[in-house]
Amino acid sequence: MSKKNSSKEKKPGALLSPKGMRDILHEDFLSYQGFFEKAAEIALYYGFKPIETPILEKEGVFTSGVGLETDIVGKEMYSFSTKGKDRLALRPEGTAGIMRAYLEHGMHSLPQPVMLYYYGPFFRHEKPQKGRAREFFQFGFETIGAAEPIIDALTIKLTHLILEEVGIKNLTILINSIGDSRCRPNYIRELTAYYRKHINKICAHCRMRLKKNPLRLLDCKEAACKELAEKSPDIMGFLCEDCREHFKEVLEYLEIMQIPYFLKHTLVRGIDYYTRTVFEVVSEQEESSAENTKENTETKNTETKPSRESKEKTSAEPMLSLGGGGRYDHLARALGSRRDIPAVGSAIGVDRVLSAPGYSMPRPRIVKKPKIYFIQIGTGAKLKSFTVIEALRKVRIPLMHSINKDKLSVQLGIAERIGIPYIIILGQKEANENAVIVRNMKTRSQETVPIDKLGDYLKKHV
């Protein structure tokens, strides 16, 4: 156990972790590890293969891919010049880097679609008062080279399933279609006209967005803007025939799979590369789950709160957003491909999931919790320590030890403190006989076991 934990030892001006970033220790680490293993296993069964891309990318991957006018890239991205004058950025999201890798490695020549999953840290320079971490973890997956709605449905299903499998309750999908490059311009025109009419009511930030990225007005968090967004024109009336048909089929699959969903016309997800399907997976907080009907989604759960305030609290408020994604058919072209490559993906916000109500940690396989503490007494025993550790490794039994310590009392003290159920004692006498004592700490019963039989004995008794 690190002494660093003690807050008494923090001196002013001491070197601590950067603001919004933290160390992941002890049980917390196992919790992350367990989630990643579980999610990866489910993704594998659904046909996805692992990929890992660099944590740093050329800045252009995000400025071209995610979009310069988005909050993620325009305000929150950590970017810098290297000594060699390259412009690099800490990845703020996973999709653009994976599409970059797909193009770089000519994965279009593989059987399509290419299905990839990933997990790891991402970075956004968020305002600390929002209570958000600047380093956060995502588990995501992308299917590249498929335009069919069944792939959108698979993506939503998998996001839903992973969250369900780790115990999250009351899961619902919020879903929308934001059209494509053919039909969206008509909608943008209508939306811009609508907001121009209300230009005095929108926030200063939205007034700027209106010129460059009008879609983003729909997810502004300012109360007045939110109210306007609820009454804004619905894109459904503007979708072209292909987009409408595509969206209809996605919804049909969700119905067949009995995944509950709500249409939410203000859902745009704030990233330029999305086309057609966008979605979020939310967990509804207890008090709102009773009113779970399709009709009241847009103004969900307003009764329980004072009316003036609740009007401002729209659908997103009583829901905890745990993941989401969408289709991004034009991203490949934005990253330099000569043609569009249809694709769809999703990412889960792991930090939020781990602290969400109901989360039950899947036990990680890689990190086993030791049940045995190894004690050695005397020089002869110390020399044989590695023989014992190696005997256990061969039968995959992990142990804890303090082989730098000499005294029995010190080592016993540690065993008591960590509350370990079994100890192995190697004293001078045992070392001479090539044996150890195995003691059950609860019953205090013990037995002498030859080292070459130790593995088998422990597998049977521990």
Please tell me whether residue 225 binds Zn ion under the rule CB under 5 A.
yes
Site size for Zn ion (CB under 5 A): 11
User: Applying CB under 5 A, which part among 85-93, 144-152, 198-206, 315-323 lies near Zn ion?
Assistant: 198-206
Distance in angstroms (rounded) separating the CA atoms of residues 175 and 235: 12
Phi, psi at 373, each rounded to 5°: -115, 130
Q: Can you read off the two tokens belonging to residue 362?
A: 């899947």
CB under 8 Å to 278, separation ≥6 — which residues?
Answer: 175, 176, 177, 178, 267, 268, 269, 324, 325, 326, 327
| Residue owning tokens 């311009």 | 185
3-state class (DSSP) for residue 329: coil
DSSP 362: P
* Minimal distance, residue 311 CB to Zn ion, in Å: 16
Please tell me whether residue 220 binds Zn ion under the rule CB under 5 A.
yes
Please tell me whether residue 182 binds Zn ion under the rule CB under 5 A.
yes
Please tell me whether residue 426 binds Zn ion under the rule CB under 5 A.
no
Selection from 311, 342, 12, 313 nearest residue 145 by Cα = 342
Among 146, 174, 206, 375, binds Zn ion (CB under 5 A): 206
167 exposure class (CB count in 10 Å sphere: 0-12, 13-18, 19+): middle
Please tell me whether residue 369 binds Zn ion under the rule CB under 5 A.
no
Please tell me whether residue 223 binds Zn ion under the rule CB under 5 A.
no
Helices 241-256 and 149-165, interaxial angle, to 10°? 40
Nearer to Zn ion, 65 or 179 (CB): 179
CB under 8 Å to 389, separation ≥6 — which residues?
Answer: 374, 399, 401
Among 115, 162, 218, 243, binds Zn ion (CB under 5 A): 243
Please tell me whether residue 320 binds Zn ion under the rule CB under 5 A.
no
Nearer to Zn ion, 220 or 397 (CB): 220
Nearer to Zn ion, 209 or 352 (CB): 209
DSSP 98: H
* Minimal distance, residue 231 CB to Zn ion, in Å: 14
* Minimal distance, residue 205 CB to Zn ion, in Å: 5
What length is written for the chain? 462
Nearer to Zn ion, 224 or 414 (CB): 224
Selection from 320, 248, 312, 253 nearest residue 282 by Cα = 320
Nearer to Zn ion, 63 or 277 (CB): 277
Please tell me whether residue 406 binds Zn ion under the rule CB under 5 A.
no
Nearer to Zn ion, 57 or 180 (CB): 180
Among 65, 67, 179, 326, binds Zn ion (CB under 5 A): 179
Please tell me whether residue 180 binds Zn ion under the rule CB under 5 A.
yes
3-state class (DSSP) for residue 35: helix
Nearer to Zn ion, 30 or 228 (CB): 228
Please tell me whether residue 214 binds Zn ion under the rule CB under 5 A.
no
* Minimal distance, residue 371 CB to Zn ion, in Å: 56
Distances (CA, A) of 448 to 372, 398, 425, 426: 15, 20, 9, 10
- The footprint of Zn ion (CB under 5 A) covers 179-180, 182-183, 203, 206, 220, 222, 225, 240, 243
